[in-house]
Amino acid sequence: MREVDLQVITDTIREMCIEVNHNLSPDMKKALDDATNKEESELGKKILGQLQENLVIAKEEMIPICQDTGMAVIFIEIGQDVHFVNGNLEDAINEGVRRGYVDGYLRKSVVDDPVIRNNTKDNTPAVIHYSIVPGENVKITLAPKGFGSENMSKVYMLKPADGIEGIKASIISAVKDAGPNACPPIVVGVGVGGTFEKCAIMSKKALTREVGVHSEIPYVKDLEIEMLEKINELGIGPGGLGGKVTALAVNVETYPTHIAGMPMAVNICCHVNRHIVREV
């Protein structure tokens, strides 16, 4: 058994919040570079150039990449041989988010109740997905999610008879609906299988997979490649103002499901697809 001091979890999450909002991960930077080379529309090229300039300013001058520094979504994988000491885990995570967002001059975008809507003023609480895994490490993935793109995400309760064609049609329909609203070029996270909530969580998790890395399941990899091509034929383009680059990646996760169903979710993320991983 290994003891982990929760202060370390808080400090780590604080740092992750600040880092991820100022410095896009190398996979996303590379995807934007490639996109700039591929784009043919003049305006599209200009916008992609601005996005790259934006990243440089964000990093050098410590100004968040986007003003919507998101709601903090955290996937935490806890080794079953870990024993946390010095408090409770959920409080430690939220304290990390609180300090990160306050100390890091990040925007506080969370309200305490969906109807009453008072801002909590420190961006807490986070949305936390826990899982228990073998071992004695703690792996934290933080993905702050902006709501311009979150609002364009969808769950579809498809039927088995809809097959892979149904999945393809749903992805295209969600991306078309999102259009310029989700700050294209986008990253598309897809979860297929499981249950209503499982597919939604998978679609979020899919966004944290490195852009450019494909599924190990051959038909899923083919689906990812084909969907990216089809989406980029839609012509939505950077900023939704026309062009060849509408999406940077399509990441699909799957899970076993029930004989009677094929739930799927499409979680759309903008080009500010922030994700960062730390192990404690």
| CA 183/CA 194 separation, integer angstroms | 29
* Among the listed residues 57, 65, 83, the one whose alpha carbon sits nearest the alpha carbon of residue 24: 65
* Among the listed residues 222, 241, 196, 279, the one whose alpha carbon sits nearest the alpha carbon of residue 46: 241
For residues 80, 82, 88 and 94, what is the CA-based torsion angle, rounded to 10 degrees?
Answer: -80
Secondary structure class of 72 (helix, strand, coil): strand
Task: Provide the mask over 158-177, with x wherever binding to other proteins is found by CB under 8 A and - wherever it is not.
Answer: --------------------
Cα 63 to the center of its chain, rounded Å: 20
Task: Provide the mask over 46-65, with x wherever binding to other proteins is found by CB under 8 A and - wherever it is not.
Answer: -x--xx-xxx-xx--xxxxx
Residue closest to ligand SF4 when measured from CB atoms: 146
Q: Give min distance, CB of 212 to other proteins, in A.
A: 20
237 contributes a contact to other proteins by CB under 8 A? yes
Q: Give min distance, CB of 145 to ligand SF4, in A.
A: 8
Residue 192's φ and ψ, nearest 5 degrees, are -125, 130
Q: Give min distance, CB of 105 to other proteins, in A.
A: 5
Q: What is the helix (H) or strand (E) element at residue 161, kind and residue range?
A: none
Q: 212: which residues sit within 8 A by CB, 6+ positions away? A: 27, 30, 31, 249
Of 138, 270, 275, 276, which one interacts with ligand SF4 (CB under 6 A)?
A: 270
146 contributes a contact to ligand SF4 by CB under 6 A? yes
Which is closer to other proteins, CB of 4 or CB of 58?
58
For ligand SF4, the binding residues (CB under 6 A) are 66, 68, 146, 148-149, 182-183, 270, 272
Applying CB under 8 A, which residues contact other proteins? 43, 47, 50-51, 53-55, 57-58, 61-69, 105-109, 117, 119, 121, 146, 148, 151, 179-181, 183, 235-237, 239-242, 270-272
